[in-house]
Structure 1
Amino acid sequence: MPKPVDDTDVLIVGAGPVGLLLAGDLAGAGVRVTVVEQRSTPTTESRASTLHARTMDVLTERGVLDRLGELPDGGPGHFGGLRLDLTEADPGHRFSGQWKCPQVRLEKVLADRARAAGAVLRRGHRVTAVTARTDEVLVETVTANGERHQHRGGYLVGCDGERSTVRALAGFELTGAEATREMLRADVAGIDIPARRFERLPNGLAVSSRWPDGSTRVMVHVYGAQPRAVGGEPEFTEIADAWQQVTGERIGNGIPLWRNAFDDNSQQVTRYRRGRVLLAGDAAHRQMPVGGQALNLGLQDAADLSGRLIAAVTGRAGETELDGYHRTRHAVGARTLTNIRAQTLLLLGGPEVEPARQLFAELLSLGDVRSHLARMISGLPGPGDPAPAPPDSEETPMSLTNKTALVTGSSRGIGAATARGLAAKGALVAVHYVDNEAAARETVEAIENDGGRAFSVRAELGTTGGVHELFLGLEQGLKERTGQTTLDILVNNAGVTTPAGVAPEDVTPEDFDRLFAVNVRAPFFIVQRALGLLPEGGRIINISSGLTRFASPDQVAYSMTKGAVEQITLHFARHLAPRGITVNSVAPGITNNGSAVFDIPEAVEQMAQFSAFKRVGEAVDVADVVTFLATDEARWITGAFIDATGGTLLG
């Protein structure tokens, strides 16, 4: 049996900069913390050395910068190898620009800080098992001499890098683009070659710079070079051969101090938290280390998470606060991965990317473009962006910030009002339409004019391939804007009705089949297709009708379809409850959908008499109900029939 060695509040796996910063924060606040690290000794490799403005703020707030001492200016930055002065992010910021600090030095300072605060650091422990329970997490490790140990913590945070063992053992889902290109790098002593700043040559890309100790860092990519097998490190001869192939220079006579290969993998976990297990840094997102963004992104993950964990452990905040870590950092990570992918294409693409590079070079002559990209890389908010909230601050009630949503049939009526309502709460909304592209564009423009985010998706539901067409457009739109395809909120609103005045005996088989194809078949398979995109805590809202509870003979076939929708709700609510996904039905009554009948005062007055409030419902009346069900505040409601008829069903 494994030997019990720890009983602590928080276990951290990984003693890199991310894990050590987190450990120091937690221990400094009186939280018991143990860091488990596979390496027996600290790393001697300085893979990363660039710190950006937001990270410098984080280190200053914690007194770490004082311990590091004065850091040298890192000079201008770049975007995809094109010169970009990062001081343009915010010329007035005290750490405007970028700064150099070898990873070895940063890790030592962070480790000393964590130990001084009371954190326990256990080196030489390789994680072999993770067991997450409702009130604790158990981690089993094995040492180099074969001793097995068990560590217990209230929470577990995986900070163990891009090949994270915690991520794999705890069942996190990783999505995104697999690597297609590779770059080799090494620190080499005893060579004298010219400095090269992202020099694109006929056969590839070359970068070289001299370290203060006289050694030279070289980075080289031969156009089209494919990634090597997982875990494989390049031989120095391979790096030297590639360097000669690209530059014509010989460096094989040098002494390799460190060598490494990295690729353009671009992946992110769908959730940063699974119960009592959380991920930070490269364990949560894998990306090419362009411009030092990977290190900075990870340190900022830790800074955001530490306050939330302290609040959870000390009882000052609950589960919503920890969920806020995912909502905040997942969106930041997705945005960063997107800009890194764009830079990778500009850097490592062959001659075919030259037109894009020329266009970017022209755009970088514009001050607004330079400042926007510099802020993005530096981690600083723009003029219209909210400032980073303190880790333990309360979130805005009913916020949907960093959520994504699909509303079918949202070019007009209740669907359009719902799309605007969700966007107003912070969600990125996919506006679905069938044939009225202009109306969908108006909905998107209205959302954007209100400061929200949206894009349109066309698909004809009820036809063969309609749902597939919908999700192709949805996933493409989400990936372009967020870097992944997570869908947090699904609203099944699209539907067709029986024409007014059609008696039950006049409904044709074609009418009947069309009603069920659009109103039942499509929602069922939309939910089915969405299951792979919905994360824990997702929301599904199906639009039903008050006619399932109120007799109107000329709508019998339509009412049957809405009754089926309510069955979809009922059974999927039970099926998806273990994942924390809620499924509910909202039943509107007579609602102004913009059709001509609502322009006739006499007709409106007659219809208003059905409501207890003696008025016709407006689309926003129903949309507000749907929006509420999409928020975290509605997490305890599932499988419900929500009467949104304005009291029509009261009799």
Structure 2
Amino acid sequence: MADDTVVIVGAGPVGLLLAGDLRTHGVPTVVVERLTEPMTESRASTLHTRTMELLERRGVLARLGELPGGGPGHFGGMPLDLTAADPGHPYAGQWKCPQTRLEAVLQERATELGAVVRRGLRLVALRDTGGRMTVEAVGADGRRESLTCSHVIGCDGGDSTVRRLGGFDFAGTDARREMLRADVEGLHIPDRRFERHSRGLATAHRWPDGSTRVMVHIFGTAPRRRTGPPAFDEITAAWAEVTGEDIGHGRPTWLNAFDDTRRQATRYRKGRVLLAGDAAHVQMPVGGQALNLGLQDAAELGVRLAAHLADPHDRGALDTYDQLRRTAGARTLTDIQAQSFLLLGGAEVDPLRELVGELLRLAPVRHRLARSISGLAAPADATTSTDPDTRTTERTHTMSRLTDKTALVTGSSRGIGRAIARRLADEGALVAVHYSTGEDAARHTVELIERDGGRAFTVRAELGVPGDVHELFLGVEQGLKERTGETALDILVNNAGITTPAGVQPEDVTAEDLDRLFAVNAQAPFLIVQRALGLLRENGRIINISSGLTRFASPDQAAYAMTKAAVEQISLHFARHLAPRGITVNSVAPGITNNGSALFDIPEAVEQMAQFSAFKRVGEAVDVADVVTFLASPDARWVTGAFIDASGGTLLG
């Protein structure tokens, strides 16, 4: 096997989605599964908004075909319309797709992309052999086999062998309540949704094939210790005790019990072994959240692991996966714990249910809970560690100042542009992420935004060439129309730019160099503002990114500084021109800012650069992004035509 092969243990939806994602990045991938054939059990069937987005971007929704809506959602059995998360979203609400169908499509995608799925292999040992992992497995015929790989990913469910062999701590609490469920043919009972009786809770739903899924819980009963699924007699007895109905004449096709166990791995990564899905967290599968949480783990891990394998010295990618998904998992498990208490508690929770019912009448409460269930809510602590493109300040994310606004940020596939796009999305804006050549980087920007609960789409256009602005706005207008039904724009950030190569003296700059610099840095922003005027709504915002070099001499960047001075003139004169429409136009001038280049990995260089700032540190992309976000907000309505020094005091002298 190739040196960078990844072995995924578990061919469920989480493992198969991850396998396909890794293959899109060219990572050799082998999926090991103990079952010789795919499962035929019903299991999970609900997909939420965030998951639908992930599947659409991967072309999986097109393969699945039209999915039926899943009806209204709930919070702890209390009605909650999940479209409250984002009423204008094309996948607002919840959708139904049998897990068996989803697994088949995900396996088809993964194998088409080149992943190898090996069934009938049971994992028995893991060994780190000095920079490599050895996976020992036993086949259905009893033969032992060794696989060597770079990383092992446990996607093998709540009873994960990878988690056990990898020595992961699995903290939490054991089950206190249990619900029985079955798919039964030949029943003719009324549909009921979390119907509370004096003795317990009952749910019945007729599937399109005519079978009925029943779920029942007797208040106050503790889970039984089981070595397999419950007997049908046990389920029929519980159903009769709660509802008074006899369902014993039906023919069960699937029997199952689930409980409110809450456990989570204390870390999702130990060296070259990682966890995703139920291998990393076990929770009550209320409303299908377990499947969705696992698929979102896989989507995050795929891009992070691929980035790490492309640059093994970048240790932050996998650490960021661990931090982000543990935070998201902990938040979801807390919400599920609250729901299980409301759902399966007896008369003792009635006062709390009454109070929560009153709160659910409040739009902000419905919005918060619907976003959490839909996978659109960002962690309360969204700090990351080592990647300057993903580092943010500590904040609680709220969809507030820019809700229902639209934004275009040029050059937002990385660096300051990426940070600006993320901050605008944090505040609620739908962001068009523009790039010229870095398609993968732009898609990663969108993934980061969507992971944090925001909305974004990519737009490609090479600036500084004939037809550039026309191509840009064709993509912007199409993306806005598809997502909002109109092409109106509220915020324009001209961030894209190119610099003179370091060390090039003024006497070495050619006429061709100047033409290229002015075409990208000055002409394109002017024409973009000009073209945007027909789309910009009243009280819109234009922010042009200049440079501290227009006020600070650095001879090797003389030509670049000239173009940025032109940008400041664009801001000054358009500010006067657009004031009657309430549109503000301002310039922001960063100083030395960490853009993720290799230079910022050299401590000595960073220390030297830090001395230019009054704060004795280099800027981070988010430092500039926060300034831009303020200027894009209603709070900056009285600021226009301004030059904003965002250099950390470098220009103080």
1:604 equivalent in structure 2: none
Structure 1 segment 340-489 matched on structure 2, within 5 A: 340-381=336-377, 394-396=389-391
Corresponding letter in the other structure for 1:203: R
Q: Secondary structure at the match of 1:228?
A: coil
Structure 1 segment 60-459 matched on structure 2, within 5 A: 60-229=56-225, 231-315=227-311, 318-381=314-377, 394-396=389-391
Q: Deviations over 1:85-122 (max 9, x none)?
A: 00000111111111000000000000000000000001
Give, in whole Å, the separation in 2 of the partners of 1:355 and 1:125: 51
Give, in whole Å, the separation in 2 of the partners of 1:327 and 1:387: 9
> Are 1:18 and 2:11 an aligned pair?
no
Answer yes or no: is the 8 Å Cα contact 1:311–1:317 preserved in 2: no
> Are 1:36 and 2:15 an aligned pair?
no
Answer yes or no: is the 8 Å Cα contact 2:187–2:250 preserved in 1: yes
Q: Secondary structure at the match of 2:220?
A: coil
Change beyond 3 A, Cα 1:338–1:57: same
- How much has 1:392 moved relative to structure 2? 8.8
Answer yes or no: is the 8 Å Cα contact 1:28–1:118 preserved in 2: no
- How much has 1:230 moved relative to structure 2? 5.2
Answer yes or no: is the 8 Å Cα contact 2:4–2:309 preserved in 1: no
Corresponding letter in the other structure for 2:158: E
Corresponding letter in the other structure for 2:375: G
Give, in whole Å, the separation in 1 of the partners of 2:225 and 2:77: 27
- How much has 1:62 moved relative to structure 2? 0.7
Change beyond 3 A, Cα 1:178–1:350: same
Corresponding letter in the other structure for 1:215: S
- How much has 1:386 moved relative to structure 2? 9.9
Answer yes or no: is the 8 Å Cα contact 1:132–1:277 preserved in 2: no
- How much has 1:141 moved relative to structure 2? 1.0
Answer yes or no: is the 8 Å Cα contact 2:181–2:255 preserved in 1: yes
For structure 2, the residue ranges without an aligned partner over 5 or more in a row are 397-614, 617-653
Answer yes or no: is the 8 Å Cα contact 1:182–1:261 preserved in 2: yes
Change beyond 3 A, Cα 1:388–1:254: farther
Answer yes or no: is the 8 Å Cα contact 2:381–2:394 preserved in 1: no
- How much has 1:133 moved relative to structure 2? 3.9
- How much has 1:400 moved relative to structure 2? 7.2
- How much has 1:387 moved relative to structure 2? 9.8
Q: Deviations over 1:271-323 (max 9, x none)?
A: 00000000000000000000110000000000000001111122276211110
- How much has 1:394 moved relative to structure 2? 3.0
2:53 equivalent in structure 1: 57
Corresponding letter in the other structure for 2:7: L
Change beyond 3 A, Cα 1:392–1:289: farther
Give, in whole Å, the separation in 1 of the partners of 2:87 and 2:353: 26
- How much has 1:144 moved relative to structure 2? 2.3
1:606 equivalent in structure 2: none
Change beyond 3 A, Cα 1:102–1:393: farther
Change beyond 3 A, Cα 1:77–1:339: same
- How much has 1:167 moved relative to structure 2? 0.3
Give, in whole Å, the separation in 1 of the partners of 2:239 and 2:300: 40
For structure 1, the residue ranges without an aligned partner over 5 or more in a row are 403-619, 622-651
Change beyond 3 A, Cα 1:230–1:169: farther
Give, in whole Å, the separation in 2 of the partners of 1:269 and 1:234: 28
Corresponding letter in the other structure for 1:395: T
Answer yes or no: is the 8 Å Cα contact 2:324–2:382 preserved in 1: no
Change beyond 3 A, Cα 1:101–1:387: farther
Give, in whole Å, the separation in 2 of the partners of 1:317 and 1:302: 22
- How much has 1:8 moved relative to structure 2? 5.8
Give, in whole Å, the separation in 2 of the partners of 1:215 and 1:35: 33
Change beyond 3 A, Cα 1:337–1:209: same
Answer yes or no: is the 8 Å Cα contact 2:175–2:262 preserved in 1: yes
Corresponding letter in the other structure for 2:391: T
Answer yes or no: is the 8 Å Cα contact 1:6–1:150 preserved in 2: no
Q: Deviations over 1:401-458 (max 9, x none)?
A: 99xxxxxxxxxxxxxxxxxxxxxxxxxxxxxxxxxxxxxxxxxxxxxxxxxxxxxxxx
Change beyond 3 A, Cα 1:27–1:14: same
Q: Secondary structure at the match of 1:12?
A: strand
Give, in whole Å, the separation in 2 of the partners of 1:64 and 1:300: 14
- Using the size of structure 1 for normalisation, the TM-score is 0.59
Change beyond 3 A, Cα 1:120–1:179: same
Give, in whole Å, the separation in 1 of the partners of 2:395 and 2:173: 25
Answer yes or no: is the 8 Å Cα contact 1:136–1:155 preserved in 2: yes
Aligned pairs, number: 397
Q: Deviations over 1:135-171 (max 9, x none)?
A: 1111111122211111111001000001101000100
Answer yes or no: is the 8 Å Cα contact 2:31–2:115 preserved in 1: yes
2:473 equivalent in structure 1: none
Answer yes or no: is the 8 Å Cα contact 2:258–2:284 preserved in 1: yes
Q: Secondary structure at the match of 2:150?
A: strand
Give, in whole Å, the separation in 1 of the partners of 2:73 and 2:353: 16
